[in-house]
Chain A
């Protein structure tokens, strides 16, 4: 078992088909890399399926595949993102996440040292969130049939008694809260992908929001809707809610936080921050009387310190998201069409 020094081979080595073959190389990859970094008593049982203790309550389950380019970006990488993304999906049901699973699809030739960086980053994210990765899977595909690393994570959580967070609970009159500035993640990714150089480095906001959610549901158990505005940004998420719940929205542009360097980068590229992806923000719809206490609770949490009330749910028959612009005009905030492409002049 110890014939190969796995540390050395990782530093120099790359993934090859043997790492997915079920033999010794695979066993070494699992024990020497995944278990080493992600280790916890449940994972250490070494069973194909994890045996889990669950508290009573309603179970929430969510799964998400992560395919990103670049794999490493300012403020994170595919490893931490795959943990944060799934924890957030579970948390947006108002739930407390309990367990995670991870599936890896690795491309032949991928450097083991980079894989180790990713796994270490996942381990760190899971530890910080106090949610263990309890089982996983690894497959290797031939060179050219993957893009380095794909990770699928599944999260399991439990909704506390008395909490009913659900998209169709959006009602006219409710307040729309946002936990912080928008656009950070998308601009950070873009700046690396396109080799654009900005004066300051814009970092992704990738973060696990379940502790923020826990504080919020403790403050106002009646929260109607929680969503994390990831791909498609704030605009897409609000439109999704409006369509699903058959309501309209009225936003106040001046109240929506955007960091100055993100705003400047968007300006330069002709992008609208409303459509740019986030990985560490949430939107909350609540009864108007809960808005102030909730904002106070959010602001007391590190991931909600720039929280703001950005608008109100309306009864618009066309289910439009409208926005009073910074200069006092009115516009519709539509879905994004295709990918947001930079303007020419």
Chain B
């Protein structure tokens, strides 16, 4: 814990906060998008925003793996579990995400589907070994960080000759999504979101390195700082971004040097590319179809691909109508802009994916800031 404690030191935080106060120019605003849900979580959990000057804003991006999974894929997972009578294994947060008509994996489980929460892909493999007469499907989601463990599971299943194990692959890629956000026509049309710089993902970058962001920083002329997940990492990286913005630079800088290198983890990358290949297009909740933004299992490992093993029926998947998750994930709107926020939609009864995981912007707003924004809004409404 010593390792962690030093990134939560109050005096250090104070001195970084005053450096930010000093360097943020009063005449302008700094909109900083944290792409990654881990950063969103850290900002709220430690109250980082409230140590920032008025003109430094965090814009919450689409980096929560639970939030960006489209309803359709969730509906498919429910169908695989229910219709094909498999044991479906998944990570905790995923259980509560509402699908079409509010149907989540937790509801399907209550109705009798065999859905189990696991902590790692290895737990899923173990379930497959222990239940040779049942089909076991691992519902894989997540960014570059969670992809290597899925690859390891497939590799291991192959080596062991496990015939009853497969993966429903929903792994997505960070850099293409960041690029898409800046290019997306909605963002340009709405024009409400001016992003001045990015806090780059830390865990993701420990796998892919920071090289993939160099093209991006150059192409869109936006600075990127790869930032660790501790609150002081976030603050230090924000300071680095403010400096770049002030100096008109747009480079990739690495604050998280204790873990991230330019090349990343080459062994993990090799493993991933042995087992997965790019999908030409994949739908993201909130962003729509994004070209080359996700992975699928290669032909060589087709036996372990749940998409090939189980047929899913074409369906009309639908999100709750007034849910603003799509706009929130693009950074165009804030959770409090959503009519359902805190009234119909709360973490106890989520209407959209952003209200589920603690990394989702709506859940973080509600949980860590609860009525504060709402009260402000009510006062505003009353005054109007």
Contacts of B145 in A (CB 8 A): 345
Interface residues of A in 301-345 (CB under 8 A from B): 318, 320, 324-332, 334, 337-338, 341-345
User: How far apart sit A51 and B44, CA to CA, in the bound complex (Å)?
Assistant: 56
B38 to chain A, nearest CB (A): 7
A325-B47, A328-B14 known; A342 vs B368 contact (CB < 8 Å): no
A232 to chain B, nearest CB (A): 13
Which of chain B's residues has its CB closest to A194's CB? Answer: B119
- Do A344 and B8 touch across chains, with their CB atoms under 8 A apart? no
Partner of B117, one of A269, A334, A341, A343: A341
Scoring A264, A331, A341 by chain B CB atoms within 10 A of each residue's CB, the highest score goes to A331
User: How far apart sit A269 and B46, CA to CA, in the bound complex (Å)?
Assistant: 18
Interface residues of A in 219-265 (CB under 8 A from B): 254, 260, 263-264
- Do A334 and B93 touch across chains, with their CB atoms under 8 A apart? no
Partner of B347, one of A331, A338, A343: A338
Report the number of A-B residue pairs with Cβ-Cβ less than 8 Å: 112
**B323 part of interface (Cβ distance < 8 Å):** no
- Do B50 and A329 touch across chains, with their CB atoms under 8 A apart? yes
- Do A329 and B142 touch across chains, with their CB atoms under 8 A apart? no
**B366 part of interface (Cβ distance < 8 Å):** yes
Instruction: Convert B31-67 into 0s and 1s, putting 1 for each residue whose CB lies closer than 8 angstroms to a CB of A.
Output: 0000001100100111111110000000000000110
- Do A329 and B359 touch across chains, with their CB atoms under 8 A apart? no
Contacts of A272 in B (CB 8 A): 45
Partner of A341, one of B10, B92, B348: B92
Of B19-27, B268-276, B369-377, the segment with at least 4 beta carbons within 8 Å of chain A is B369-377
**A267 part of interface (Cβ distance < 8 Å):** yes
Partner of B10, one of A254, A264, A345: A254
Contacts of B336 in A (CB 8 A): none
- Do A318 and B46 touch across chains, with their CB atoms under 8 A apart? no
- Do B372 and A332 touch across chains, with their CB atoms under 8 A apart? yes
A341-B93, A341-B95, A345-B203 known; A326 vs B8 contact (CB < 8 Å): yes
User: How far apart sit A33 and B370, CA to CA, in the bound complex (Å)?
Assistant: 52
- Do A325 and B65 touch across chains, with their CB atoms under 8 A apart? no
- Do B65 and A263 touch across chains, with their CB atoms under 8 A apart? no
Interface residues of A in 245-300 (CB under 8 A from B): 254, 260, 263-264, 267, 269-270, 272
- Do A327 and B119 touch across chains, with their CB atoms under 8 A apart? no
User: How far apart sit A224 and B38, CA to CA, in the bound complex (Å)?
Assistant: 40
The interface size of chain A toward B, counting residues with CB under 8 Å, comes to 29
A320-B370, A325-B231 known; A343 vs B357 contact (CB < 8 Å): yes
**A49 part of interface (Cβ distance < 8 Å):** no
**A18 part of interface (Cβ distance < 8 Å):** no
Contacts of A44 in B (CB 8 A): none
User: How far apart sit A112 and B259, CA to CA, in the bound complex (Å)?
Assistant: 53
- Do B91 and A328 touch across chains, with their CB atoms under 8 A apart? no
User: How far apart sit A267 and B367, CA to CA, in the bound complex (Å)?
Assistant: 18
**A218 part of interface (Cβ distance < 8 Å):** no
**A196 part of interface (Cβ distance < 8 Å):** yes
**B338 part of interface (Cβ distance < 8 Å):** no
Which of chain B's residues has its CB closest to A261's CB? Answer: B1
**B9 part of interface (Cβ distance < 8 Å):** yes
Interface residues of A in 133-163 (CB under 8 A from B): none
**B330 part of interface (Cβ distance < 8 Å):** no
Interface residues of B in 225-256 (CB under 8 A from A): 231-232, 235
A246 to chain B, nearest CB (A): 14
- Do B348 and A345 touch across chains, with their CB atoms under 8 A apart? no
A343-B92, A344-B93, A345-B142 known; A328 vs B10 contact (CB < 8 Å): yes
A314 to chain B, nearest CB (A): 14
- Do B368 and A331 touch across chains, with their CB atoms under 8 A apart? yes
Contacts of A264 in B (CB 8 A): 1, 4
B89 to chain A, nearest CB (A): 13
User: How far apart sit A94 and B66, CA to CA, in the bound complex (Å)?
Assistant: 45
- Do A342 and B8 touch across chains, with their CB atoms under 8 A apart? no
- Do B348 and A338 touch across chains, with their CB atoms under 8 A apart? yes
B360 to chain A, nearest CB (A): 11
- Do B367 and A344 touch across chains, with their CB atoms under 8 A apart? no
**B222 part of interface (Cβ distance < 8 Å):** no
Instruction: Convert B1-17 into 0s and 1s, putting 1 for each residue whose CB lies closer than 8 angstroms to a CB of A.
Output: 10010001110011001
User: How far apart sit A205 and B290, CA to CA, in the bound complex (Å)?
Assistant: 50
**B285 part of interface (Cβ distance < 8 Å):** no
Which of chain B's residues has its CB closest to A341's CB? Answer: B92
A329-B231, A331-B368, A334-B366 known; A344 vs B14 contact (CB < 8 Å): no
Return 29 A-B CB contacts under 8 Å, by A number.
A263-B4, A264-B1, A267-B4, A269-B119, A270-B358, A318-B371, A320-B371, A327-B8, A327-B46, A328-B47, A329-B13, A329-B46, A329-B47, A329-B51, A331-B44, A331-B45, A331-B46, A331-B47, A332-B367, A332-B369, A334-B370, A337-B346, A338-B347, A341-B96, A342-B93, A344-B93, A345-B143, A345-B145, A345-B146
Residues of B near any A CB (own CB < 8 A):
1, 4, 8-10, 13-14, 17, 37-38, 41, 44-51, 65-66, 91-96, 117, 119, 141-143, 145-146, 203, 231-232, 235, 346-348, 357-359, 363, 366-372, 375
